[in-house]
Copies of this chain bind each other. A is one copy, B any other.
Amino acid sequence: MIIVMRPGAPEADIARIQKLLAARGLGAHISIGESLTIIGVVGDKSRLDTEQLGLLPGVEKLVPIMEPYKLASLTFHPGRTSFTIRGVEFGGHELVQIAGPCAVESEEQLEITAAAVARAGARVLRGGAYKPRTSPYSFQGLEREGLRLLREAADRHGLLVISEITSEVDLEEAAEYVDIVQIGARNSQNFRLLSAVGRSGLPVLLKRGFAESIDELLSSTEYILSEGNYRLILCERGIRTFETATRSTLDLSAVPVLREKTHLPVFVDPSHAAGKASLVAPLARAAVAAGADGLIIEVHPNPPQARSDAAQQLTPAQYADLAAELARIAAVMGRGPEPA
């Protein structure tokens, strides 16, 4: 933390700040420049209320030096976090694929999808049971029944289960069925939900919000990590920009940036970012080439009949082709699985 004083701030202002810092056990290194005086704060800044500091007489502005997050930071936790859930390693050597329909619709839909994506190499089955839809008149999900169908289909094909929850009220119910809880973009700063999921100890996939910077995403993770829950996967899924050719703008720079800033595994969701099936394959390939640890892709046995997000879901055949390409790019990146 650097305190920049206003030009011409009197010595009394500087002395007041030194005293305040000393009272909190912090040191002050003062640099008197030609036009500005700055004060470097030394010590544990968590003892300091920085907004108050910024309002003291003579203070021009505060310049933070450290990131606003700690537990997620590579500085404090060097090396990469990986963890294994029922035999599937996240953040490890292998590119992990999550695939499945946008929404759980029926047992038959799930059976066809689970069989197809397992055969193509996916390790986790996705499917929405509680759907956050922009219109209250749209299909809202099968809830508990959806979770049960998802679990059964996954079990038949040796897949893990991931599903989104949108309220802490659903957490207990979901915990009976899922291996990984998904927090969607609309809830990325629903801190009540993040804390509840953190306390649950369940593995979590946290999507970046539409308007959330990378640093804010990492700050949000503290709500989960500070509960001792380190089985956390981050997921880039596109941010809101002025461009309307895609539903969101997939920020693939976030993949290498996150890998420089945090030890947590980084996944990418090309389906929701693109909003259009024909863009999913190029973006999925690009995500792997950018260094993603895994992907989450929407697959539906009959997209035109899908009850939500029809436009962006791949058919099982399209997904199988894509998975083969992804394996070849993963190999260039020195990752498994080995191409068939």
Contacts and interface: CB of A to CB of B under 8 A. Distances in A.
A256 B283 contact: yes
A302 B87 CA distance: 47
A278 B261 CA distance: 12
Contacts of A172: none
Nearest to A43: B34
A24 interface: no
B135 A219 contact: yes
Interface in A38-71: 38, 40, 42-44, 46, 49, 51-52, 54-56, 63, 65-66, 68-69
User: Interface residues of A: mostly helix, strand, loop or mixed?
Assistant: mixed
Given A192-B166, A305-B52, A216 B252 contact: no
A77 interface: no
17 contacts: A2-B38, A29-B40, A34-B42, A40-B40, A55-B310, A69-B135, A166-B190, A167-B168, A186-B189, A186-B191, A209-B210, A213-B244, A213-B245, A215-B245, A239-B242, A257-B279, A282-B289
Tallying the copies of this chain within the complex gives 4
Contacts of A31: 29, 40, 42
A265 interface: no
Nearest to A140: B191
Contacts of A43: 33-34
A35 B65 CA distance: 11
Contacts of A311: 51, 54-55
A253 to B, nearest CB: 5
A152 interface: no
A2 B65 contact: yes
Contacts of A241: 239, 241-242, 249, 251
A332 to B, nearest CB: 5
A36 B169 contact: no
Contacts of A222: 135-137
Contacts of A228: none
Given A186-B189, A332-B328, A134 B278 contact: no
Given A213-B242, A213-B244, A222-B136, A36 B66 contact: yes
Nearest to A191: B132
A274 interface: yes
Nearest to A307: B49
A283 B40 contact: no
B304 A56 contact: yes
A75 interface: yes
B52 A219 contact: no
A254 B289 CA distance: 17
A165 to B, nearest CB: 10
